[in-house]
Amino acid sequence: MGKIRDSVDARALRFAVGFPLMLAVAFVVCALLIRVDLPEPLAVRWTGAGAADFAPFGAVVGVGAAMIVLVGWAVLLQAAPLSRPALMRRFMMGAGLAVSLFVTTVLAAVLVGQLGLADARESRVDVAVLAMGSGAALGLGVVMGFVFKADERWSTEDERAAQAALERELDPELAGDSVSLWVHARSSVFVMLGIATLFPAALLTVAVPWLAALLVAVALLAAVFLFARIRVDRSGLRVFAAGFVRVMDVPAAAIDSATPKEVKAADYGGWGYRSHGATTAMLVSSGPAVVVDRSDGRRLAVSGGSATTADNVAQVLSRVAARARRNGGAPAA
């Protein structure tokens, strides 16, 4: 129930539900007041030759009231959700009011056009009522669209944003304790991979198409996993192979030291994700990397992109690890 209150404008919802109902009740009451002056049955459709279809008074009034309610709800309820833009909510509120009144106007014109007649075949839709009612419906709809205040409410997302802003205000170093970067293999590696797989695949296309497609798929998969996304913040270090497969997750309190180094991928088993004994590595190339020593004796190596970014990542990791140890544990993510 609390989530519904946070996502819906209660005042707009009450109006959207109640207004069509009250309008339908008013239509039924007015129809009953003029019942004695109406023919039976009532005309409900006209052609050039006159009335063509007829229905009993109860059916006309009942179906008409249901149409007012359903059409009004269908449009007005679109103005209640807070997730929608304020301009859209104002438009739907004005449009819902206008549509509800227009449907009522059409029904009223049908009834007034048959007042005082003994036979509904002689009836016509009252044009004066239809014209004046349609103009009033349009005007009131425009007015409602302008006066309806679709103010955005304070939501849980706003609460989280305010909390984050407060934390940044109380701790100016918080912004500097967050690093996110992508690393990838050198362009020459992708060129070599293409030459080694795509050219043979092109030759195999004529003879064995499925094998060529499999070779291309393997090449694409290998190329994707030569990308990695590195995320460092106060919760620790996280590394995602191909940008979305989490291969490392080290809490800040578990980091003993972080050092920028020049490494060779062959020393850690090659490119990509490797795990041998107490050493785990995610290297997309040889060169600048960050070597992390954990407090449990394990060691991790992660490509750092350039020497500058590797040094920055190592400094941030050292800083958040020292802070986590002073606080007695890693902060919540």
Would you report the helix, strand and coil content of the chain in percent, each value rounded to 5? 60, 20, 20
Q: How many independent structural domains does the chain possess?
A: 2
Query: By the 8 A CB rule, do 152 and 86 touch?
Result: yes
Residue 110 lies in a domain: yes
In angstroms, the CA 109 to CA 111 distance is: 5
User: How far is CA 3 from its chain centroid?
Assistant: 16
Statement to judge: residues 19 and 115 lie in one domain: yes
> Is residue 56 located within the same domain as residue 120?
yes
The residue among 220, 182, 217 whose CA lies nearest residue 313 is: 182
Which one is predicted more confidently, 53 or 21?
21
Cα separation, 18 vs 104, in Å, equals 15
Q: Give me the CATH number covering residue 260.
A: 2.30.29.30
227-233 and 236-241 as β-strands: parallel, antiparallel, unpaired?
antiparallel
Helix (H, G, I), strand (E, B), or coil: what is residue 313?
helix
Residue 290 has pLDDT above 90, yes or no: yes
Q: Are residues 7 and 142 in the same domain?
A: yes
Most confidently modeled of 4-18, 101-115, 314-328?
A: 101-115
Question: Is the same domain home to 175 and 276?
Answer: yes
Listed in sequence order, the residues at least 6 apart from 330 whose beta carbon sits closer than 8 Å to its beta carbon are 234, 235, 236, 251, 252, 253, 254, 324
**Both 142 and 175 in a single domain?**
no
pLDDT at 331: 43
What mean pLDDT comes out for the span 299-311?
90
Identify the pLDDT of residue 155: 60
Regarding whether 308 and 172 lie in a shared domain, the answer is yes
* CA 46/CA 10 separation, integer angstroms: 42
- Token digits of residue 6: 């946070």
In a shared domain, residues 177 and 83:
no
**Half-sphere exposure of residue 120: CA atoms within 13 angstroms, side-chain side:** 21
Say if residue 8's pLDDT is above 50.
yes
- Both structure tokens of 246: 């989490």
Is the pLDDT at 30 greater than 80, yes or no? yes
Rg of the chain (C-alpha set): 36
Furthest CA-CA distance within the chain: 103
Residues 79 and 115 in one domain: yes
**Is residue 175 domain-resident?**
yes
Q: CA 3 to CA 21: how far, in whole Å?
A: 26
Predicted structure pTM score: 0.49
Q: Is residue 131 part of a domain?
A: yes
298 in the same domain as 250: yes
* 279 domain residue, yes or no: yes
Q: What is the pLDDT of residue 154?
A: 60
In the block, tokens 């992109």 appear at: 305
Does one domain contain both 137 and 11? yes
Three-state SS for 206-228 is HHCHHHHHHHHHHHHHHHHCCEE
pLDDT score recorded for residue 332:
40
Instruction: Report if residue 290 sits inside a domain.
Output: yes
Report, as an integer, the average pLDDT of 182-198.
Answer: 82
Average pLDDT, the chain: 83
pLDDT of residue 329: 53
Average confidence (pLDDT) over 57-84: 88
pLDDT at position 289 is 92
Span 310-321, mean pLDDT?
A: 89
Domain containing 41: what range?
Answer: 2-147
Spell out the residues 6+ positions from residue 102 whose beta carbon is closer than 8 angstroms to its own.
133, 134, 137, 138
- Residue 48, pLDDT score: 74
Q: Are 173 and 314 found together in one domain? A: yes
Residue pair 263/283 in contact by the 8 Å Cβ criterion:
yes
Is 59 part of any domain? yes
Is there a domain that residue 117 lies in? yes
**What pLDDT is attached to residue 1?**
47
| DSSP 8-class letter at 81 | B
Does residue 12 sit within a domain? Answer: yes
Residue type, 328: G
Q: Which helix (H) or strand (E) holds 30?
A: helix 10-33
Q: Which two tokens stand for residue 266?
A: 């062959």
Residues 276-286 pLDDT 10s: 888 899 999 88
Do 134 and 261 lie in a common domain? no
pLDDT (0 to 100) of residue 282: 92
List the structure tokens of 121: 């075949």
Q: Provide the token pair at 148.
A: 């309806």
